[in-house]
């Protein structure tokens, strides 16, 4: 059995984007975060659009992000779920809608 450990760090409002004079995160001094990124393996998560169950191009939010991470899979939000069911022909098979 391995003693490997993992740590999930959630920084609400902290995004990784393109460097620009207008990107506060990119321009901030972040010695602790920089040290973590240099020393340990890490990954980035998509927090918008279909990756978190929202329509393409729609920005995520704290609730959607936490729900997706907790579930470990995409949880389609109402609008996206209904649109997906219509597109796949499943929506009108719902018994309540047929009665």
Active site (catalytic) residues: 62
Widest pairwise Cα distance in the chain: 61
Let me know: does 71 contact 77? Beta carbons within 8 Å: no
The angle at the Cα of 75, spanning 36 to 11, to the nearest 5 degrees, equals 25
């Amino acid at each position: 059995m391995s003693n490997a450990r993992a740590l999930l760090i959630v920084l609400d409002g902290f995004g990784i984007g393109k460097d620009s004079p207008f990107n506060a995160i990119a321009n901030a001094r972040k010695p602790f975060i920089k040290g973590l990124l240099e020393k340990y393996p890490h990954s980035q998560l998509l927090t918008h659009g279909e990756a978190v169950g929202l329509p393409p191009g729609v920005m995520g939010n704290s609730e959607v992000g936490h729900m997706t991470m907790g579930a470990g899979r995409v949880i389609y939000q109402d609008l996206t779920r209904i649109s997906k069911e219509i597109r796949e022909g499943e929506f009108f098979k719902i018994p309540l809608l047929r009665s």
